[in-house]
Amino acid sequence: MDADVIVVGAGLAGLVAAHELTSRGRRVALVDQENAANLGGQAFWSFGGLFLVDSPEQRRLGIKDSLDLAWSDWQGSAGFDRVDDEDSWAVRWARAYVEFAAGEKRSWLEGHGIKFLPTVGWAERGDLRAHGHGNSVPRFHIAWGTGTGVVEPFVNHAKQAARDGLLTFYHRHQVDALVIEDGHARGVRGTVLAEDNSARGVRSNRDRLGDFELTAQAVVVTTGGIGANHDIVRRYWPERLGTPPGEMVTGVPAYVDGRMLDISAEAGVRLVNRDRMWHYTEGLQNWDPIWPGHGIRILPGPSSLWFDALGRRLPDPCLPGYDTLGTLKYLRTTEDIAGYDHSWFILTQKIIEKEFALSGSEQNPDITAKDRVGFLKTRVLGKGAPGPVDAFLRKGADFVTAPGLEELVEKMNALTDKPLLDAAEIRRQIEARDLQIANPYSKDAQVQGIRNARRYIGDKLGRVATPHRILDPEAGPLIGVKLHVLTRKTLGGIQTDLDSRALGVDGDPIEGLYAAGEVAGFGGGGVHGYNALEGTFLGGCLFSGRAAGRAAARQTG
């Protein structure tokens, strides 16, 4: 045998599983199709937002959260409707995960040296129904170091285990088959890929050098989702979200190719909930791309006005930062706009300075470098938009600015094949909205939402601009942003039990086979159900990777 356990995929889930195994003395073969520079996978690029419930950070900010409230929110968002079948394990994973987030998660992360910003973000504010989708309270805790800081301790553990002779890295080894004999996972087969010294995140070659086979007592599959493979995204795009856009930007590196899902199915593994995915409607073309079609997601505060391709304001709950898939559904199923791939934000300089954050470790260099003083200077005390946001404003292909609305709309129209926007019609809608600003109450749901958000001190200080008229020249210039659909997360995948054991098509665990992280729908084959509360993906990798590592260690003990 080449190892006690083979872990396929050196992203966060695989690294956590490997750590659990090597810290119990098991020998691990860590196999990945990419080079050593890519250790950590997507988590390295991520923003490092983590879903925690009733944390000290929340309490300090006056947020009253509880396991009951979080569980109610999770169920409202997930909408599990296949509990006797595809959701049977997912729903159990969901409960266990929310308990983890309300309990041990924070101290376990702290034990690994991971600390959090004092402010807590309010992601997925929801669909405006108490029993529906969304976070009733802010729960998005950003780690110092962003995702780079979350994955770093586990990268260090793997390197130390390699030095101690417990872990062997197999970089540039692409798995093409799982070896399962007599219902027991025995190893993997695949292709040794040619050396590639590309920098992290850059698409690498797929030139073949030869074949390989590795054997072990157990195999853990942690190979991520499908986000970079638009063919697979389109193949499983659900009817309820209308038609997939003709053009999408890509929110993940090219190695998030989804191949291992079909390879697992060929080996008799049960895949579930493949029609559930989590793509964003606020994607930008990156002016400085790293991977093919590289898109960046705006994490918007609540004040930008959102218009469809024909220049009509989106109805609530399709408001910035409220309901990701509700908005995607609206854009892709409304008859006269579904043929267009874009929508628009119109906002002011005053809004962009306070409300635009960009997802990704490289877009938040102060937090990634754990530079607390720099963070305070730029984000709390500083004037102007943070540097990376300002760079998009100046260099991004999707941004236009103008002192007046008519000129802005002319520039927005120049970004599409045909001029689809009517400045007078947009003016009418913005003027109506601006009339709602004079009073501290309003009939406009978005204005109500802004005022509600500002009752939370974290939003008031750092995230939500003082309510103002969009057409107030003092708040300008005006900014138009063309928004694209950005592919990111896979919510379904390999069905697993609470020990992360992969199930076969008959619903029974396959001996010695485990799956964790995004390839397993972040636990159970779809812990999120239909909708995520955000910050739950990294946590899902940690939780399911940990379960897989512990169970595989018990099996091989």
Ligand X SMILES: Cc1cc2nc3c(=O)[nH]c(=O)nc-3n(C[C@H](O)[C@H](O)[C@H](O)COP(=O)(O)OP(=O)(O)OC[C@H]3O[C@@H](n4cnc5c(N)ncnc54)[C@H](O)[C@@H]3O)c2cc1C
Among 174, 264, 286, 327, binds ligand X (CB under 6 A): 174
Minimum Å distance from CB 130 to ligand X? 25
Choose the stretch contacting ligand X; rule: CB under 6 A; options: 3-11, 155-163, 339-347, 474-482: 3-11
- Residues 91 and 83 sit within 8 Å (Cβ to Cβ): yes
Burial of 444 (0-12, 13-18, 19+ CB in 10 A): middle
Q: Does 433 bind ligand X (CB under 6 A)?
A: no
How buried is residue 383: exposed, middle or buried, by Cβ count under 10 Å (0-12/13-18/19+)?
A: exposed
Residue 487 binds ligand X (CB under 6 A): no
Dihedral over alpha carbons 237, 239, 240, 246 (to 10 degrees) = 50
CB of 50 to ligand X, least distance (A): 6
Fill in the DSSP letter of residue 198: P
Smallest gap from residue 295 Cβ to ligand X (A): 9
**Nearest residue (CB) to ligand X, 36 versus 424:** 36
Residue written as tokens 């080894």? Answer: 173
Q: Is 322 in the site for ligand X (CB under 6 A)?
A: no
Sole window of 18-26, 216-224, 230-238, 384-392 interacting with ligand X (rule: CB under 6 A):
216-224
* Residue 267 interacting with ligand X (CB under 6 A): no
Owner of token pair 């007078």:
424
The answer for residues whose C-beta is within 8 angstroms of residue 531's C-beta and 6 or more apart is 77, 78, 79, 124, 133, 278, 324, 325
φ, ψ at 446 (rounded to 5°): -70, -40
Q: Which two tokens stand for residue 192?
A: 């040794």
Cα dihedral 143, 229, 540, 167, rounded to 10, equals -90
Please, what is the minimum distance in Å from the beta carbon of residue 330 to ligand X?
24
Distance separating alpha carbons of residues 413 and 482, to the nearest angstrom: 10
* Residue 49 interacts with ligand X (CB under 6 A): yes or no: yes
Measured distance between the N- and C-terminal CA atoms of the chain, rounded to whole angstroms: 15
Least distance (Å) between residue 17 CB and ligand X:
9
Which position among 3, 5, 6, 13 is part of the footprint of ligand X (CB under 6 A)?
A: 13
Neighbours of 304 (CB within 10 A): 27
Q: Is 495 in the site for ligand X (CB under 6 A)?
A: no
CB of 275 to ligand X, least distance (A): 18
Which is nearer to ligand X, 259 or 411 (by Cβ)? 259
Q: Which of residues 506-545 bind ligand X (CB under 6 A)?
A: 517-518, 535-538, 541
Return the range that interacts with ligand X (CB under 6 A); candidates 27-35, 55-63, 85-93, 129-137. Answer: 27-35
Interaction between residue 126 and ligand X (CB under 6 A): no
Closest distance to ligand X from the beta carbon of 543 (Å):
11
Using CB under 6 A, pick the residue from 3, 6, 7, 14 that binds ligand X. Answer: 14
What is the chain's alpha carbon radius of gyration, rounded to the nearest angstrom? 23
Asked if 259 is part of the footprint of ligand X (rule: CB under 6 A), the reply reads: yes
Work out the number of other CB atoms within 10 angstroms of the CB of residue 498.
15
Q: Which of 78, 94, 175, 412 binds ligand X (CB under 6 A)?
A: 175
Contact segment (CB under 6 A) with ligand X among 41-49, 69-77, 88-96, 212-220 equals 41-49
* CB nearer to ligand X: pick between 150 and 447: 150
Q: What is the dihedral of CA 464, 467, 468, 474, to 10 degrees?
A: -50
- One-letter amino acid of 423: A
Q: Is 147 one of the binding residues for ligand X (CB under 6 A)?
A: yes
458: contact with ligand X by CB under 6 A: no
Q: How far apart are CA 502 and CA 516, in angstroms?
A: 9
Q: Which of residues 183-212 bind ligand X (CB under 6 A)?
A: none
Residue 320 binding ligand X, by CB under 6 A: no
Q: Residue 484 interacts with ligand X (CB under 6 A)? A: no
CB 57 within 8 A of CB 32: no
CA nearest to 75, candidates 126, 131, 139, 136:
131
Nearest distance, CB of residue 202 and ligand X, angstroms: 13
Q: How far apart are CA 515 and CA 502, in angstroms?
A: 6
Q: Considering only 45-53, 59-67, 70-78, 240-248, which stretch makes contact with ligand X by CB under 6 A?
A: 45-53
Distances in Å between the Cα of 392 and the Cα atoms of 46, 202, 250, 388 are 18, 21, 17, 6
- The count of residues interacting with ligand X (CB under 6 A) is 42
**Minimal distance in Å, beta carbon 107 to ligand X?**
19
Nearer to ligand X, 479 or 519 (CB): 519
Q: Which residues in 218-257 contact ligand X (CB under 6 A)? A: 222-224, 251-252, 255-256
Any alpha helices (H) in 293-339, and if so which ranges?
324-333
Binding flag, residue 286, ligand X (CB under 6 A) = no
3-state secondary structure of 436: coil
Q: In the complex, which residues of this chain contact ligand X (CB under 6 A)?
A: 8-14, 31-34, 38, 41-43, 45-49, 147, 174-175, 222-224, 251-252, 255-256, 259-260, 359-360, 489, 517-518, 535-538, 541
